[in-house]
Structure 1
Amino acid sequence: MSSVTCAANPAFEADASKDEKIVTSHAEFTLSPSNADADAQESRRIFRDVCCVAAGFFLLFTSYQSMANLQSSINKEYGTIAQSIIYATLLLSSLFLPTLVISQLGARNTIAVSMLGYSLYTAAQFYPTAYTLIPSAAILGLAASPLWSAKCTYLNLAAQRYAKLTGQNREVVVTRFFGIFFAFFQSTQVVGNLISSLVLTQDSVWVNSTDPALLRCGATFCHEESASNASLIKDISDTQRYTMSGIYLAFALAASAFIMAFVTPLSRHCDDAVVRSSTGRSPTQQLLATLRHLRNPQQILIIPFTFWSGLMQAFLSAEFTAAYVSCGLGVYMVGYTMICFGVFDALFSYCCSPMVKRVGRVPIFCFASLLHSCLIAVLFLWVPNPEQMYVFFVIPALWGICDAVWQTQMNALYGVIFPEDSEAAFSNYKLWESSGFIAAYICSNLICVTAKLYILAGSLALGFIGYVFIEIFEYRKNKLS
Structure 2
Amino acid sequence: MQNALVLNLDPPNSHNEYTMVPAALYLGFAASLIWVGQGTYLTSVARSHAKNYQLHEGTVIGSFNGEFWGMFASHQFVGNLLSLGLLRDGKGGGTSGTTLLFVVFLGSMTLGTTLMCFLNRRDGEGEEGPPKPSDSFYSSVVSLLELVIAPLYDKRMLLIIPLIAYSGLQQAFVWAEFTKEIVSPALGMPGVGGSMAVYGAFDAICSLIAGRFTSDLSSITLIVSGGALIQVVVLLWLLLKYSLTAGLFGSIYPLLMAAMLGIGDGVFNTQLSAVLGMLFRHDTEGAFAQFKVWQSATIAVVFFVSPYITLQTMLLVMLASVVIAVAAFLFLTVHLEKAFSSTTS
1:158–1:266: 8 Å Cα contact kept in structure 2? no
Of 341, 348, 370 in structure 1, the residue corresponding to residue 206 of structure 2 is: 348
Rounded Cα–Cα distance in structure 1 between residues aligned with 2:45 and 2:281? 22
**Distance of aligned partners of 1:153 and 1:248 in 2 relative to their CA distance in 1, 3 Å threshold:** farther
Rounded Cα–Cα distance in structure 2 between residues aligned with 1:458 and 1:197? 34
Matches within 5 A, 1:22-421: 61=1, 64-67=2-5, 69-71=6-8, 129-149=16-36, 151=38, 168=53, 181-202=68-89, 204=90, 236-237=91-92, 240-259=93-112, 263=115, 265-266=117-118, 280-281=130-131, 282-357=140-215, 360-381=219-240, 382-387=242-247, 388-421=250-283
Q: Which residue of 2 aligns with 1:446?
A: 308
Rounded Cα–Cα distance in structure 2 between residues aligned with 1:353 and 1:182? 9
2:62–2:214: 8 Å Cα contact kept in structure 1? no
**Distance of aligned partners of 1:474 and 1:140 in 2 relative to their CA distance in 1, 3 Å threshold:** same
**Distance of aligned partners of 1:241 and 1:142 in 2 relative to their CA distance in 1, 3 Å threshold:** farther
SS at match of 1:385: coil
SS at match of 2:307: coil
Write the deviation string for residues 340-396 of structure 1: whole angstroms up to 9, x where unpaired. 111111111111133344982332222222221111011113123342211011001
SS at match of 2:165: helix
1:197–1:336: 8 Å Cα contact kept in structure 2? yes
1:417–1:474: 8 Å Cα contact kept in structure 2? no
| TM-score (ref. length: structure 2) | 0.80
**Distance of aligned partners of 1:328 and 1:455 in 2 relative to their CA distance in 1, 3 Å threshold:** same
Offset at residue 149 of structure 1 (A): 4.5
Of 289, 306, 317 in structure 2, the residue corresponding to residue 455 of structure 1 is: 317
1:372–1:399: 8 Å Cα contact kept in structure 2? yes
Rounded Cα–Cα distance in structure 1 between residues aligned with 2:171 and 2:63? 26
How large is the Cα RMSD of the aligned pairs?
A: 3.7
Letter in structure 2 aligned against 1:405: V
Of 284, 291, 295 in structure 2, the residue corresponding to residue 429 of structure 1 is: 291
> Any stretches of 5+ residues in structure 1 without a counterpart?
1-60, 79-125, 205-235, 272-277
1:325–1:333: 8 Å Cα contact kept in structure 2? yes
2:163–2:325: 8 Å Cα contact kept in structure 1? yes
Offset at residue 455 of structure 1 (A): 1.1
| TM-score (ref. length: structure 1) | 0.59
SS at match of 1:280: coil
Rounded Cα–Cα distance in structure 1 between residues aligned with 2:107 and 2:341? 53
**Distance of aligned partners of 1:469 and 1:176 in 2 relative to their CA distance in 1, 3 Å threshold:** closer
Rounded Cα–Cα distance in structure 1 between residues aligned with 2:289 and 2:42? 19
2:66–2:211: 8 Å Cα contact kept in structure 1? no
Rounded Cα–Cα distance in structure 2 between residues aligned with 1:173 and 1:393? 33
Letter in structure 1 aligned against 2:163: F
1:70–1:317: 8 Å Cα contact kept in structure 2? no
Offset at residue 331 of structure 1 (A): 1.1
Write the deviation string for residues 171-229 of structure 1: whole angstroms up to 9, x where unpaired. 68877766654443222112111111112112x3xxxxxxxxxxxxxxxxxxxxxxxxx
Offset at residue 311 of structure 1 (A): 0.5
Rounded Cα–Cα distance in structure 2 between residues aligned with 1:149 and 1:362? 23
Write the deviation string for residues 402-421 of structure 1: whole angstroms up to 9, x where unpaired. 11111111222223333343
